[in-house]
Amino acid sequence: METILGLDLPTWWFLVIGGLITGYGVLDGFDLGAGALHLFFNKEESRRLALNAIGPVWDGNEVWLVIAGGALFAGFPLVYGIILSTFYIPFMLFLVSLIFRAISIEFRSKEPMRWWRKMWDISYMVSSVVITLLLGLILGNLIQGIPINAHQEFTGDLLTFFNPYAILIAVTTLSLFMLHGAIYLVMKTENRLYTKLTVLVNNCSKFFILCFILTSMATLIYIPHMTHEFKRNPALFLLPLLAVLTVLNIKRNIDGRKYFIAFIFSSFITAILLILFAIGLYPRIIISTTDPAFSISIYKAASSEKSLKIMLLIACIGTPLVIAYSTFVFWTFRGKVKLNEMSY
């Protein structure tokens, strides 16, 4: 099999898709988290400020989801079909929530009536929470594996997804995004809203640390296959250690009101958690709980080498471009948010 820098093409694609999902988690993570906190702000002005803090960038952040979806479709079409059709109902609810979230942000400002704004405020918060929980639920189920038979068909039902571990991961994801979003908002605001957020961000950080501890313990105890690779290669234990240090660092920087550094670390922890998941998974991409032999590896699921190579080239050209204009947009809207006539 052809290799580039010592890695075969399916492994490269595993990395590319992992990178895109991480990018999505880090970027849409903070605006979903900001959405999940929305109703904690009581004043109309605070809500507008919070919305405008994510206003120019949330759409661009969501692009990463579209690209990650496209990349999974292109790189591992078998897995794309299996995951999406298996999680049919969760994904349908996810899509509908994405629609509601987009139109809540878009429509809220269009009319001044109080009931109108309140309705979209609620819809914005609920959809942000539901999207995050569903992502976590799907992730949790993929971590522990799903019942797949020899014909790569899902044999469970909707209730299979609602197990304690997956629910725990869903809540942890929510706590992570809420923390990430709170740090982003506190960075972007001033005066009264800032003061309120300094309290909120503290509570979010406690909530996340609690979830982080529970999840770590549950994974170590109940999901042994996630730790195999680490036992085989003890150097990898540096990563969980790094995760713990990162979490402590977030707390320390929040306490010291160094929110920008805290934001870097909350982005970092999102990435580390996904990397830990990827290491536990590799080289499988879907784990079968029916029989380990039915698990689907990246080699079985990958597209042709030619297609992977072309797509890798496309990714190499495209990714710097995407990063360049995201950076440009973030730079343009740097600093604290102010309301003006063009705001939401």
Q: Interface residues with other proteins (CB under 8 A)?
A: 52, 55-57, 59-60, 62-63, 65-67, 69-71, 73-78, 80-86, 88-89, 91-92, 95-96, 98-100, 102-103, 106-107, 110-111, 153-154, 303-304, 306-307, 310-311, 314-315, 318-319, 321-322, 325-326, 328-329, 332-333, 340, 342-343
Smallest CA-to-CA distance from 240 within 250, 261, 226 is with 226
Shorter beta-carbon distance to other proteins: residue 100 or 212: 100
Kindly state the smallest distance separating residue 77's Cβ from other proteins, in Å: 2
Shorter beta-carbon distance to other proteins: residue 78 or 278: 78
Name the one residue in this structure whose structure tokens are 């292109």. 74
Shorter beta-carbon distance to other proteins: residue 122 or 310: 310
Kindly state the smallest distance separating residue 231's Cβ from other proteins, in Å: 34
Kindly state the smallest distance separating residue 172's Cβ from other proteins, in Å: 24
Kindly state the smallest distance separating residue 64's Cβ from other proteins, in Å: 9
Per-residue burial over 4-21, b = 16 or more CB atoms within 10 Å of its CB, e = otherwise: eeeebbbbbbbebbbbbb
Would you call 165 helix, strand, or coil by DSSP?
A: helix
Shorter beta-carbon distance to other proteins: residue 93 or 244: 93
Shorter beta-carbon distance to other proteins: residue 78 or 279: 78
Kindly state the smallest distance separating residue 209's Cβ from other proteins, in Å: 33
Could you tell me the maximum CA-CA distance found in the chain, to the nearest angstrom?
63
Q: Count how many residues are written for the chain.
A: 344
Residue 315 sits at φ, ψ, to 5 deg, of: -65, -40
Shorter beta-carbon distance to other proteins: residue 276 or 286: 286
**Amino acid symbol at 101:** R
Would you call 288 helix, strand, or coil by DSSP?
A: strand
Kindly state the smallest distance separating residue 155's Cβ from other proteins, in Å: 8
Kindly state the smallest distance separating residue 106's Cβ from other proteins, in Å: 4
Shorter beta-carbon distance to other proteins: residue 67 or 204: 67
Smallest CA-to-CA distance from 308 within 89, 12, 1, 106 is with 12
CA distances from 283 to 3, 48, 105, 298 (A): 15, 45, 40, 6
User: Which structure tokens are listed for 142?
Assistant: 């993929």
User: Which structure tokens are listed for 80?
Assistant: 């794309």
Q: How far, in Å, CA of 261 to CA of 264, rounded?
A: 5
**Amino acid symbol at 261:** I
User: Which structure tokens are listed for 161?
Assistant: 């997804």
